[in-house]
Chains A and B, each alone.
Chain A
């Protein structure tokens, strides 16, 4: 039902402009500069053209009934625009305009009228008071704040435009792919559960990321969330964890924030994975979008150094993951490759040997073994930074030729790439997640490694991040597994 809204072939912007820092300009320039793959029509009776496109005085003058209209003009103009949409046969409206239920009695009344019109004429209205929408897969970047994450599998529903914007900025700078975005605004007509339902059926959406302040109809929300999370993971941050936060939420969009402990229960009951912060929202979503789910909680750890392994094992234990004994067969194999003083237990400490082949083989031994559901690899990724800087110091002191140093850098890059490619191969083969934690990163180093296939590798900065993601993926797997057993 919302497909023509999120996958439009043609769009119009009412109030289109080219004067910097106006909403009609933000939306138009973002659509055009973002290389939207469909047709664009500016509507504005006061100017002739917008960024080289001839304007139309009103929606009624357009050569076609566009799939989506973006409305950026003041609240008092909105009723006429809706009438024009009805006359023209336009069904989807993204109402950027603010000044409705978030502002007081008069605004509430106007919003009620919008709801009535939408209901009577079957209009899909996003907002009002929305940041806009994005569909990376048809290059539709139609938000007020300009951010252009690359296409991917995460779709975002944000009850706050700013928060959604920030998450997309992070995604863009960290190379995390986004499928769609909607700032749900005041949710006068389309509500969070409508978007959930749509993303559940959307083939480009693998993971749903949600920022929630409140829901209007709790019962409907629960039904939709339950149904959705059996098919796709929903990662949510709920605002208003404390009383101060709750008050801020209530005054923010007019949505009433329910008490947090009850919402937490709702999330447990519906299988929603909950995040504690905006940062965590994106981190968790990227993990769910990239790795196969672990089928159990048994983790194998491989580390370049002892202390790191212990810290990671502690994190695992605290988050409900287990660290089983190292199987004899693996001990036997590694005995042949490692000095006699090696740990001979899980975490496997490869005693500071930055040997890519050894790491590849050790990872495969662990991931192939039935005693492990997931593997965390600490430190071989990013060891190139260590080697790079060691070589650079010698080069700077004039004891290494530039060509040798350059070749060495290239080689380091290739080794790391091959290692990450191997992790993807192993994940495809064994359907178990393998999470690398980087020893160190340099500017320009990738955070997500992909070969374009189904699975990707997220490179973590810290063991606690990797363990958090793994534990949440395990909990989600468990939720779905238990329910499918009950309802099978």
Chain B
């Protein structure tokens, strides 16, 4: 993990790419959707076959922001042809990329959460849990704790949300696996306590696959 961070710092990166960010948070104990970094169209197709269709393709680089707006995200690709076409489109935008991320497609159930960390000037690294997806900023239904946190703290963070009903059985979906979320929050808190190199982590959205939380996007911002 330290390797990934130090390589990025040596490269004078401001952030980690999505692929590297996910690798780091996965090591920290956060469930992440399966993904591979393809360097060629053939590799992309091979990875898609390995994961099983449908898949998602995303342009991947540490400098890439607003990838959806740039047309760098191709959802729910069902065949080899669709993967090949998506690969070509993403790589033809003239934006320098590390490669193309081939990621498993998860249906989810519309419930989206956000996990994150920041460094507060008074309290140091803090962990956040809240309502994710497009409503994160509008509703600001989030809870903070100063790291390191215990599992008890993590459960209390979940109970603090105004929309905590979403964590229970909801419109035909089962209750979210709170234990898995608690472990993810504790893992995240240990990660930022241990690695001073990390300024912020933003994992949004975390979707619910069956009852399991899975991170489908992640960004780690480095300290300058």
Interface string of A239-282 (1 = CB under 8 A from B): 00000000000000000101101101110110000000000000
Beta-carbon contacts of B119-155 to A below 8 Å, as 1s and 0s? 0111110100000000000000011111001101100
Contact A256 B146 (CB under 8 A): no
CA distance A24 to B114 in the complex (A): 56
Complex formed: what's the CA distance from A215 to B120 in Å? 12
Could you tell me if A266 and B146 are in contact, using CB atoms closer than 8 angstroms?
A: yes
Which of B122, B152, B160 lies at the interface centre, i.e. has the most chain A CB atoms within 10 A of its CB?
A: B122
With beta carbons under 8 angstroms apart, the residue of B123, B143, B152 that contacts A219 is: B123
In the assembled complex, which residues on chain A have CB atoms less than 8 Å from the CB atom of B120? 218, 258-259, 262
Answer yes or no: B156 CB below 8 A from chain A CBs: yes
B150: which A residues are within 8 A, CB to CB? 486
- What chain A residues lie within 8 Å of B144 (beta carbons)? 261-262, 264-265
Question: How far does the Cβ of A318 sit from chain B's closest Cβ, in whole Å?
Answer: 12
Within the complex, the shortest CB–CB distance from B164 to chain A, in Å, comes to 12
Asked whether A417 is an interface residue with its Cβ less than 8 Å from the other chain, the reply is no
On whether A222 and B143 interact (CB within 8 A), knowing A256-B122, A482-B152, A486-B152, the answer reads no
CB–CB A262/B152 < 8 A: no
Query: How many angstroms from the CA of A256 to the CA of B120 in the assembled complex?
Result: 12
Q: A264-B144, A269-B153, A482-B152 are in contact. Are A222 and B123 (CB under 8 A)?
A: yes
Let me know if A215 and B146 touch, CB within 8 A: no
Q: Please state if B152 and A258 are interface contacts (CB–CB under 8 Å).
A: no
Give chain B's interface secondary structure class. mixed
User: Is there contact, CB below 8 Å, between A483 and B152?
Assistant: yes
Partner of B121, one of A256, A265, A266, A483: A256
**Which residue of chain B has the shortest Cβ distance to A479 in the bound complex?**
B156
The reply to whether B152 and A265 form a contact with Cβ atoms under 8 Å apart is: no
Chain B, Cβ-Cβ closest to A257: B122
Interface of A is mostly: helix
| 0/1 interface trace, chain A 465-488, chain B, CB 8 Å (1 if under) | 000000000000000001100100
Cβ of A128 within 8 Å of any chain B Cβ, yes or no, is no
A132 contacts chain B at the CB level, 8 A cutoff:
no
In the complex, A117→B204 CA distance in Å?
51
What residues of B have a CB within 8 angstroms of the CB of A265 in the complex?
A: 126, 143-146, 157
Decide yes or no whether A214 CB sits under 8 A from chain B: yes
**Which residue, of B126, B142, B145, B153, has the highest number of chain A Cβ atoms within 10 A?**
B126
How many residues of chain B are within 8 Å of chain A by beta carbon?
A: 18
Among A258, A262, A486, which residue has the most Cβ atoms of chain B within 10 A?
A262
Contacts of B149 in A (CB 8 A): 269
Could you tell me which residues of chain A, from 328 to 363, have a CB within 8 Å of some CB in chain B?
none
* Among A214, A219, A261, A486: residue with most chain B CB under 10 A: A261
Given contacts A268-B160, A269-B149, contact A258 B123 (CB under 8 A): yes
* CB <8 Å contact, A269 and B145: yes
Given contacts A268-B156, A482-B152, A486-B152, contact A222 B146 (CB under 8 A): yes
In the assembled complex, which residues on chain B have CB atoms less than 8 Å from the CB atom of A266?
Answer: 123, 145-146
With the chains together, A258 CA to B150 CA distance in Å? 23
Is A258 in contact with B145, judged by CB distance below 8 angstroms? no
Task: Note all chain B residues with C-beta closer than 8 A to A486.
Answer: 150, 152
The CA of A483 and the CA of B152, in the complex, are separated in Å by 8
Bound complex: CA A179 to CA B69 (Å): 61
Q: Chain B residue with minimal CB distance to A482? A: B152
Closest to A215 in B: B122
Question: CB-CB < 8 A to B156: which residues of A?
Answer: 268
Chain A nearest CB from B179 CB (Å) reads: 16
> Is B122's CB under 8 angstroms from A269's CB?
no
> Which of A264, A266, A486 has the most C-beta atoms of chain B within 10 angstroms of its own C-beta?
A266
CB distance from A258 to the nearest CB of B (A): 4
* Contact A268:B145 (CB < 8 A) given known A262-B126, A482-B152, A483-B152: yes
Query: Whole-angstrom distance between the alpha carbons of A217 and B122 in the complex?
Result: 6
Contact across chains for A218 and B124 when beta carbons are under 8 A apart: yes
Chain A positions within 8 Å of B124 at CB level: 218-219
Across the two chains, which residue of chain B brings its CB closest to A222?
A: B146
Question: Are the C-beta atoms of A218 and B152 separated by less than 8 Å?
Answer: no
Q: How far is the CA of A218 from the CA of B123 in the complex (A)?
A: 4
Measured CA separation A219–B123 after assembly (Å): 6
* Residue picked from A258, A264, A265, most chain B C-beta under 10 Å: A265
How close is A221's CB to chain B, nearest CB, in angstroms?
8
CB distance from A212 to the nearest CB of B (A): 11
Query: Contacts A268-B156, A482-B152, A486-B152 known; A214 to B122 CB distance under 8 Å?
Result: yes
Q: Within the complex, what minimum Cβ distance (angstroms) separates B47 from chain A?
A: 40
User: Are A269 and B121 CB-contacts (below 8 A) given A262-B126, A483-B152, A486-B152?
Assistant: no
Which residues in chain A, 205-249, are within 8 Å of chain B measured between CB atoms?
214-219, 222
Residues of A173-222 contacting chain B, CB below 8 A: 214-219, 222
- The residue that A258 contacts in the complex, of B122, B142, B153, B157, with Cβ under 8 A, is B122
Give the residues from 163 to 188 in chain B that come closer than 8 angstroms, CB to CB, to chain A. Answer: none
Are A262 and B142 in contact (CB-based, < 8 A)? no
Contacting A at CB under 8 A, from B84-130, are 120-124, 126
Shortest beta-carbon distance from B154 to chain A in Å: 11
Contacts of B160 in A (CB 8 A): 268
B74-88 interface (Cβ within 8 A of A): none
Which chain B residues lie closer than 8 Å to A216 at the CB level? 122
Complex Cα distance A217/B123, Å?
7
Contact of A268 among B121, B142, B143 (CB under 8 A): B143
Chain A CB within 10 Å, residue with most, of B120, B145, B153, B160? B120
Distance from B61 Cβ to chain A, minimum over Cβ atoms (Å): 31
How far does the Cβ of A252 sit from chain B's closest Cβ, in whole Å?
Answer: 16
Name the distance in Å between A167's Cβ and chain B's nearest Cβ.
24
Q: How far is the CA of A214 from the CA of B120 in the complex (A)?
A: 13
B residues apposed to A, CB below 8 Å: 120-124, 126, 142-146, 149-150, 152-153, 156-157, 160
Which 6 residue pairs spanning A and B have beta carbons closest together? A265-B144, A218-B123, A218-B122, A258-B122, A265-B145, A262-B144
User: With contacts A217-B122, A262-B126, A268-B160 known, what are 4 further pairs, Cβ within 8 A?
Assistant: A256-B122, A262-B120, A265-B144, A266-B123
21 CB contacts below 8 A, A to B, read A214-B122, A215-B122, A217-B122, A218-B122, A218-B124, A222-B123, A222-B146, A258-B122, A258-B123, A262-B122, A262-B126, A262-B146, A264-B144, A265-B126, A265-B144, A265-B145, A265-B157, A268-B143, A268-B156, A269-B149, A269-B153
